[in-house]
Amino acid sequence: MRHLVIATLVTGSVLAQIGPVFGAHIPEAVGTGTVVNASPLDAETPPVSLTMPGASWVKVWFGGTDLPLGAKVRIRGLLDDVVQDLDAEAFERWEGTSAYFNGDSVTVSLVLGPFSTGSLSVVGIDAGFPAVAGVDSICGATDDRIPSLETRVGRLLNSGGSAICSGGLVSQNAVFLTAGHCIGGNQYTVEFNCPPSTASGAVVHPGPQDQYPANSASLAFSNGGIGSDWAAFTLFPNTTTGLSASTVQGFYDLAPTLPPIGAVTRISGFGTASNPVLNQAPTTHTGSLTAISGTQLQYTVDTTGGNSGSVVVEESTQRVFGIHTNAGCTATGGANSGTSLFNAALQAHLAGLVDPPGQYRVAVTQLGAVGNPITIAINDAPAGAELVNVVSLAVSDLPGTGNFFGLNAGPGAGDVFMPFTLPLGSPPFHVSADASGGFSITLPSTGSIGTITFDIVSLAFNPALGYMGYLGKSPVTRAIVIL
């Protein structure tokens, strides 16, 4: 370990930097009753309009909704003309709620498959309004934050409308790291690629394709003050695209040790701002790591309310080493504070999320600028297995659901290589797993070909039996890289 421990921290304001109240819940009672589709085709009920005059956004709550196989709830945001469809599985993942839709009006309808019966019931609407803009905990006389294009940072919204917080993706398994004091309500949504806010300072939501429901079963958190303020959970795949957040947005690596005092430190997130279009929109700033005491961190990086949960990143390595939680900077001094990644309880929870044992999987990552290398990594395959890694350019709406390889691998539209015809020892397509069931290779990229989207799956076989000794396969993963 090479981190420096400082015995005492600079004192000052220790206000948690949770964002202001940004929404309210309004009970509603409207529905379809029992609907019967007696036809051999899909049928959609007439859309029901829901309007909250003057609201900057709305989110719908459902109850008593029956979705048989082939049925789905359809929510349409009228301002942006965007649609979210929720089948029974997606409805469960969203815990009976919709995504966030800009504007004050949506419609809801029920789509039924042939010869089926279902129902739809709305029990409430969350309505948004501009959060109070403001500047606090700025380190120095001016707010030096600038707009951010960091894709790995997300905006955390809780179902109570009581907080906007920040956080970041820290694993290929779509693990989201944030602050424990941000946890409240019973449904959490994380948004990426968030647009600038409106001229009145109201947040603008991305489309449903960039909103991910939290897997509440994976959530653990602590709200024990600076040094013990953390939360971590996984995000379900997006229910519109079927893609993992980490596949689309990338993710940070976790630091193996704390950086030295003085290290350039970056915090990106969704703090309030006096400039309305930057208010709780993506911003970023760098400063110095100034103190470490046990699991408490201090740094001179500009933050405001809503930055709570922002991952604290060492600029030179782009690795996460902490979570921002508390204010402390002033125009004349002080420092902002956070919780170290090396909090023991946080480490124990992350160990089960970041690299859960027994999940045979393949991941393709390429972080940073054009021309950066591409890494293909396999984890938790059977030890010493013969691996056949198959790629297809014929991607489907959901990875692996189209004319894909699966176990019936063979030539077909979009097949890039035929790894079954390649001899063992032809990386990355026909290789052997090591004793831990892993394989990794880094490939160069010139950036001259352009952006490529493909699906990849890894198949495992007993090396003594060849293709007659099938052992299992990874889930199909969608990859987007620049070749």
Task: Give the C-alpha separation, 444 to 347, whole Å.
Answer: 33
Contact 456, 476 (CB under 8 A): yes
Instruction: Output the average pLDDT for the chain.
Output: 87
**Domain range annotation of the chain:** 23-128, 146-347, 361-482
Q: pLDDT grade, residue 481 (50/70/90)?
A: confident
Comparing 395 with 9, the larger pLDDT belongs to 395
CATH number for 361-482 (one of 2.60.40, 1.25.10, 3.40.50, 3.30.70): it is 2.60.40
As its CATH architecture, domain 146-347 has Beta Barrel (2.40)
Q: Is the pTM of this model over 0.85?
A: no
406-464 residue pLDDT tens: 433 344 444 545 778 889 999 999 999 999 899 999 988 877 778 888 888 898 999 99
Model confidence at 479, pLDDT cuts 50, 70, 90, reads confident
Mean pLDDT of the region 243-272: 92
pLDDT at 409: 39
Q: What is the pLDDT of residues 201-252, one digit of tens each?
A: 899 999 999 999 999 999 999 999 999 999 999 999 999 988 889 888 989 9
Average pLDDT for 158-187: 88
pLDDT confidence of 17, banded at 50, 70, 90? low
Q: Answer yes or no: is pLDDT of 9 > 60.
A: no
pLDDT, one tens digit per residue, over 53-97 is 999 999 999 998 999 999 999 999 999 999 999 999 999 999 999
Residue 368 confidence (pLDDT) above 70 = no
Mean pLDDT of 131-160: 87
pLDDT one-digit tens code per residue, 278-293? 999 999 999 999 999 9
pLDDT at residue 419, rounded to an integer: 78
Residue 12 pLDDT > 70, yes or no?
A: no
Residue 114 is predicted with a pLDDT of 95
CATH class of 23-128: mainly beta
